[in-house]
Amino acid sequence: MSIAVINEDKSGLADCVGTAADASDIRQRTVHEKLKNSNFTSIANGSVTSADGEKNNQCSNNNKGSSQCTFHLWSRKALLNRKDIPKHLQFNPYIETGYRPLLSMWGCIMSLFYFHNETINIITHGVPMLYILLWWQTLLPWSEINVPLLPWTHLVSTVSPWVGSTIYHLFMNHRAGESCYKSLLHLDMFGIWITQSFGALTTVYASVSCLSSSWIWRVLAVYCVVSLWCLYKDLLAVLGGFVGALRIPEKWVPGRLDLLANSHHIMHVVVVYAVYHLHQGAVLDMVWLSGNTTCQYDTATSSL
């Protein structure tokens, strides 16, 4: 009798296990059916893709508010909020969204193909850089210029800030971390220093061109030495301006100008415009130096 009861209990236990297994199987099939019928297909590397190729802004209850569920206009990638990125990237308290996650070098390069809060910074300095590198022969009237070295010094000084800035903004979120970020920032500042120091070399040379050759070289040597001595101070000054900028207009409307028209975007455009005028002035100086007869006339007049 007891054996029969035990057998019945075992049979009931088996039925219970079987029922639980069936219920689990039903739940799994149900979840699978729901996922199959939904727009979500995968979440990988910070991006959510859908069966119809369109971005999906829906998030599960567990992921609501998560950085993996933050999307922005023109972007199919999941971008981060400011609180979700490392401290060394949180330098503007008024840019709240649109940050890329930490990425590999290839991931940073691929970020060129979707919109985030560094896209405008990359474009505004990347386009001038490519233009100068590809069409440098058309930037100067080479047939009218015969002064040595100055044309090449000028070209280097005009392309340097765009090279440093583009590399900095493109790779600033590299997963190597803060040390990599600081190195990229120094590269950016070095490019700016080259423009500040040697971009004016043509004008300085034109200003002293009527002096004797020995005095011209003395003035240029002093200018170059002073520029090198000021490198460290220039770095601090530019870095201080970068960190302590007024951050207008995003300061007035936090979170509304994350992707477009914030202070850094405006600064990028203004700097390009300023270097363009520096270039125009340098071209006029080099053409004048190449055909200068004023000094010879003054010398002949003073000898009479």
Confidence at residue 289, expressed as pLDDT on a 0 to 100 scale: 87
Residue 21 has pLDDT above 50, yes or no: no
Residue 92 has pLDDT above 60, yes or no: yes
Comparing 250 with 297, the larger pLDDT belongs to 250
Residue 27 Cα distances to 34, 36, 43, 62, angstroms = 10, 14, 22, 19
Cβ atoms 189, 164 nearer than 8 A: yes
Q: Which of 284, 278, 266 is nearest to 192 (CA)?
A: 278
Query: pLDDT digits over 5-17, tens only?
Result: 444 444 443 443 3
φ, ψ at 101 (rounded to 5°): -70, 170
Cβ atoms 93, 251 nearer than 8 A: no
Cβ atoms 79, 100 nearer than 8 A: yes
Residue 11 Cα distances to 7, 20, 23, 24, 210, angstroms = 6, 14, 18, 20, 111
Confidence at residue 164, expressed as pLDDT on a 0 to 100 scale: 95
Contacts of 105 (CB under 8 A, 6+ apart): 171, 174
3-state DSSP helix/strand/coil % of the chain, to nearest 5: 65, 5, 30
Query: What are the domain boundaries of the chain?
Result: 2-69, 82-302
d(CA 158, CA 194): 9
Q: Which of 137, 136, 290 is nearest to 205 (CA)?
A: 290
Confidence at residue 122, expressed as pLDDT on a 0 to 100 scale: 97
pLDDT band at 66 (very low <50, low <70, confident <90, very high): very low
Q: Which of 130, 230, 121 is nearest to 172 (CA)?
A: 121
Confidence at residue 246, expressed as pLDDT on a 0 to 100 scale: 72
Q: Which of 100, 130, 103 is nearest to 115 (CA)?
A: 100
Query: pLDDT digits over 118-163, tens only?
Result: 999 999 999 999 999 999 999 999 999 998 889 999 999 999 999 9
Residue 255 has pLDDT above 70, yes or no: yes
Section 157-171 average pLDDT: 96
Share of residues in the chain with pLDDT > 90 (%): 35
Confidence at residue 26, expressed as pLDDT on a 0 to 100 scale: 40
Handedness of CA 242, 246, 248, 251 (dihedral sign): positive
Angle between helices 213-229 and 231-243 (to 10 degrees): 50
Residue 64 has pLDDT above 80, yes or no: no
pTM of this prediction?
0.68
Which range has the worst mean pLDDT, 21-35, 78-92, 147-161, 243-257? 21-35
Query: pLDDT digits over 187-242, tens only?
Result: 998 998 898 888 888 888 888 888 887 888 888 888 777 776 665 555 544 544 45
Which range has the worst mean pLDDT, 20-24, 59-63, 212-216? 59-63
Confidence at residue 218, expressed as pLDDT on a 0 to 100 scale: 84
